Chains A and B, each alone.
Chain A
Amino acid sequence: MDIRVQAEPFDAGAELNRFAARRGDSGAVVTFSGLVRDDGGLRHMEIEHYPGMTAKALTEIAERAQARWDLRDVLVIHRHGKLRPGEQIMMVATAGAHRAAAFAAADFLMDYLKSRAPFWKKEVTGDGAEWVAAKDTDEAALDRW
């Protein structure tokens, strides 16, 4: 398991290749990347987090995924600080013997990262700054699991 919380950008392609090479017994790797979406007018996004809790929360979420599916490995990278449109915010990667577990676990990780990992996004536009509100559907998504 590899969990990273960082301000620095990362190279998702290089991370994928490194992750895929870590375990020779994986037959399937699934990755998801989250990007800063430019809906028009966005100058940048500021992501705040809870330093004492973030890595611990991400690790617990990844451990739940590992307990539930037959996974070979899990990678989570999540950035904080100031990010511009188009930049990578985060990525998850899951490796399994077969693809079904890898897909399901990546989906699970994303649902939990959205509403159980202590990050808060603020969007800065020419008109000012606004905190991104959590959606009811984010919370409802957890009921799937």
Chain B
Amino acid sequence: MTLDVLYFAWLRERIGLPRERVETDAATVADLVAELTAREDRYAVAFQDLKALRVAVDQELTDFDAPLGTAREVAFFPPMTGG
């Protein structure tokens, strides 16, 4: 499947791009992270500590073990600092 993968805040800066299109067979968010980190060091560094990151699938907050199913968009970011 084809996914739009988005990055925000320091994760965007560390990876060096705000979004990309990813062709993947990943079943879960964690599988997708494993695929990305295997690609290049900058991904491995950015995703080093998943506890410091949050994920949204199709714009809903979820967990790293969430299935991707028919998802179209996955966003990774640090804990939010709104307000």
Contacts and interface: CB of A to CB of B under 8 A. Distances in A.
B77 interface: yes
B59 A132 contact: no
Q: Which of A78, A120, A138 has the most CB of B within 10 A?
A: A120
Interface residues of A, number: 27
A138 B54 CA distance: 15
Interface in B61-82: 61, 73, 75, 77-82
Contacts, number: 72
Q: Which of A56, A90, A115 has the most CB of B within 10 A?
A: A115
Given A50-B56, A53-B59, A114 B82 contact: yes
Interface of A: 34, 48, 50, 52-53, 56-57, 78, 89-90, 110, 113-122, 131-134, 138-139
21 contacts: A48-B9, A48-B12, A53-B59, A57-B61, A78-B82, A110-B83, A115-B79, A115-B82, A116-B61, A117-B83, A118-B82, A119-B80, A119-B82, A120-B78, A121-B81, A122-B9, A131-B9, A132-B81, A133-B81, A134-B78, A134-B79
